[in-house]
Amino acid sequence: MITGKNYIGNKLSENGGKGFKTINPHLNIENPTTFVEATTEEVKEAVELAWSAFREYRKVSGAQRAAFLNAIADEILALDQELVDTYTMESGLPEGRAVGERGRTVFQLRSFADLVSNEDWRENTFDKAEPDRKPLPKEDLRKTLIPLGPVAVFGASNFPLAFSTAGGDTASALAAGCPVIVKAHPMHAGTSELVASAVIKAAEKTGMPNGVFSCVNGGIDVGVALVDHPKTKAVGFTGSINGGRALFDLAAKREEPIPVFAEMGSINPVVITPSAIAERSNEIAKTYAGSITLGTGQFCTNPGLLLTIKDENTKAFVEELGKQVVAIEPQCMLHPNIKSGFDKNGAGILAQPGVEVVAKVEGDLKDNCAASVIATVSGTEFLANPKLHHEVFGPFSLVVQCQDEDELLAVIEGLEGQLTGTLIAEKNDSSDLQEIVETLQHRVGRILYNGVPTGVEVCPSMHHGGPYPASSDSRFTAVGTHAIKRWVRPVSYQSFPNELLPVSLKG
């Protein structure tokens, strides 16, 4: 049952007088529940409770934390159709997407449970003492990873489950031994409350300390209060560049600066070789039309920039891509504000000198549906105009037609950091691609060969991060079990008696 209240630990709270409602983007109407924004005092209470819980939770064994994470997965599944219906009502996304994302969320939780069921993830190291070493003896040294403390997690607009209340940030932080305070995304506060209730039930069933998890509603003021609290020790964020950078700057200005692990904007360049276009132009156009419009283009890995070298086949390829994109029925976006942003940002790109519209969905559309766009520009114009490098969140892609490989490399080198870069090529291209690959790898966190960037596998070898502004720290991933490394720090123990060492370092 959705109450519209905040979870301060296992207590429902509604002390504030300010409320809001979510929107059904399909119907373009408000949903019935009023959600009460957390007060500054409620935020403080949640963080203080998390700090108190941390004293106990950091000592909880890996096996017990694994049981907790598995219980969260079980409780999410127990929400059944109510969760699916609430998800679709608040996001405009179809039921199949809701079920699939729920499955991914559950998989993530169980993956972290498996990870912490033993101590291998801590990467413990042992350097035994050598008292007789000359000229100086060597002390006994052992190193392990310990949790940072309470983590503030900001839910993502485009993934109401997998990157939100019990998504990858929360799952990895809880796995590490860190309590979590979630700021629910206002666009899907009902979905967040249902998932929060599942986390609280799991905590109670597995005997976790009260305060190991809280979930609060609100806007900028609530987010600032969370990050600014001295007992918040790290932040996880998925969203806009402006939002992520604001949190990063706020955290850096604290008396004790803390890390902000933010996954932000990306246009995910795709390099298509002339031979690939010559051999399979229509196939590539069809595949990328599907990727550009998948989820109404509302994926962080949406291919917003296609790069190629202009030749006699390029024009036909670009036209076919446009034809394929506009043939796909327009879909609903997540929220009227996101639709408005898509229209505004897309219009800003199209207004730039040298940009030509290849194809755009025309005619009357249902409320909040996006008119997909393919546009093109020369490499020279792209290099001269930084405004063309900006992300358009939605089904919009810009094809940059370069004069030659040197200009193509200059375009890649001039890009901001990206989550992904893709290379579409033929076998006979391989000898000519090394410089392109090396240039890409310094601008992106994941390089694909003959694939599409949409679709992110959850596994240890996945890296879902990249140079700024794709993420605030390119060394860490937001997806997969290595995400746990964001919420821990190393500690060395020198010449310690065995009985005082952490369990994982004894022996």
Find out whether 330 and 369 touch, Cβ atoms under 8 Å.
yes
pTM assigned to the model: 0.95
155 in a structural domain: yes
Say if residue 424 is in the same domain as residue 284. Answer: yes
Annotated catalytic residue within 178, 215, 300, 332: 300
Say if residue 289 is in the same domain as residue 238. Answer: no
| Cβ count within 10 A of residue 76 | 24
Find out whether 443 and 467 touch, Cβ atoms under 8 Å.
yes
437 in a structural domain: yes
Say if residue 237 is in the same domain as residue 329. Answer: no
Say if residue 279 is in the same domain as residue 255. Answer: no
Say if residue 294 is in the same domain as residue 244. Answer: no
Say if residue 182 is in the same domain as residue 63. Answer: yes
Say if residue 298 is in the same domain as residue 399. Answer: yes
CATH number at residue 410: 3.40.309.10
Alpha helices in 266-335 (DSSP H): 274-293, 314-326
Say if residue 358 is in the same domain as residue 212. Answer: no
Say if residue 226 is in the same domain as residue 339. Answer: no
| pLDDT per residue rounded down to tens, the chain (507 residues) | 899 999 999 999 999 999 999 999 999 999 999 999 999 999 999 999 999 999 999 999 999 999 999 999 999 999 999 999 999 999 999 999 999 999 999 999 999 999 999 999 999 999 999 999 999 999 999 999 999 999 999 999 999 999 999 999 999 999 999 999 999 999 999 999 999 999 999 999 999 999 999 999 999 999 999 999 999 999 999 999 999 999 999 999 999 999 999 999 899 999 999 999 999 999 999 999 999 999 999 999 999 999 999 999 999 999 999 999 999 999 999 999 999 999 999 999 999 999 999 999 998 899 999 999 999 999 999 999 999 999 999 999 999 999 999 999 999 999 999 999 999 999 988 778 999 999 999 999 999 999 999 989 998 999 999 999 999 999 999 999 999 999 999 999 999 999 999 988 988
Structure tokens at 251: 């955290």
Say if residue 249 is in the same domain as residue 390. Answer: no
Query: Is position 263 annotated as part of the catalytic site?
Result: yes
Question: Which domain covers residue 178, as residue numbers?
Answer: 6-16+29-264+471-505
Cβ within 8 Å of residue 253, ≥6 positions away: none
Annotated catalytic residue within 45, 75, 263, 320: 263
465 in a structural domain: no
294 in a structural domain: yes
pLDDT of res. 431: 75
Distance CA 82, CA 242 (A): 33
Q: 495: alpha, beta or left, given left = phi > 0 and alpha = psi -120 to 50?
A: left
23 in a structural domain: no
pLDDT of res. 283: 97
User: What single-letter DSSP state applies at residue 330?
Assistant: P
463 in a structural domain: no
Exposed, middle or buried by CB within 10 Å (0-12, 13-18, 19+), for 74? middle
Distance CA 238, CA 263 (A): 5
The count of domains in the chain is 2
143 in a structural domain: yes
CATH number at residue 64: 3.40.605.10
Distance CA 31, CA 188 (A): 10
pLDDT of res. 141: 97
Say if residue 146 is in the same domain as residue 36. Answer: yes
Say if residue 210 is in the same domain as residue 332. Answer: no
456 in a structural domain: no
